[in-house]
Chains A and B, each alone.
Chain A
């Protein structure tokens, strides 16, 4: 049974699920409650950082123009996985046992494409969540609903997988960014 996390909560993944390796991180949201006349394009981006919290090389920034890291242990499945019944809008496949040793954290973010041009922000987005599914048996391990926290932000760090000794844990972060993907890439050391 899935565990519902609240903001700031940290939970062990591999310790309580021995042998866990291949997981799917699913992210979902609803938009356009009110017809703004403009399309809403939300994008999931993943930052693989080192121990200092920085992305050491461009191939460790996974987004719509770079769908996987070098050894394909983190793979963004793209925009075409919608409508699979479980409500995920985008998914990222992670093979925990094959994550390169120099990667300490895998941060999952959602940003609004062309937010400024289209005058959009997370105030127009509702029911955002992230969930982690064990690929071996399709069991949902954890779920984090982002709730009411965002309004003027155009980017959100939803949560991160991180090493803790020999184990992997998940941290439900839920922090907003007012300057979208640009702000995120800056803070993760890519600019």
Chain B
């Protein structure tokens, strides 16, 4: 695999350099933040200091004009009836958060591939919750919106995903003065994890898969997006012991390799399920359940395939994980 490896190495170098710069810059801003805090204690009543992905930031409590770009936060904000002034409607699916996507007063930031950053400026925000797919636009957003506080709360690379989700919703609770609600969301999440861990027999092997465009790919334990985090969190035994490289879209794997691993359970993210690619869409249930080569695999033969909520690919928030862990707990319990 020389091409992809060198490609990744190059990518690592290319990202490391700006990252170092950002980190250095962060050190600077963090210090500045503490100085400012000392000087303006009077303002503390209306602001709260949170730790975002770049360091300490002072955020106005319950800000009026909010722009949110990170898919992880829409569910929480929507549940708390927080109005938005702009959002990336192109990546929010249909009907998930109609209060945001179908309201013309909410300006459209487009998609992360073709962001319309001007709409953020036009929305005159007090707070921009950026990050995740929009991480690349962070510097531009900061530069273009000098009057707004810009934060990033999405799970950081290299940190434990589970703790990161909790950190995110707790920060939102502080900002929007909903700490009790945030605590409830976290409690539900932890309960679902406890139930799923309890229901798992500790022995069964599991394979995580992603389907898209009629192809099946492998979602690696730990690093693999969404499904991967289930492995460390629940202590699942992977049926294929091999580090994968494409952590967000999965690695190319043949059905016979899955058959050879013969997992007891298969957990599948159907990436096209969320309304993208209606025409060519081949559902995961058909690709996996209907595969001749996989018919003999324990997971398929005993109906032990867990299909993620098709919207998971768009949400990926703590609530979606809670639902997923509840689903897993239920499936494990039913099979026992």
A and B pair up: no
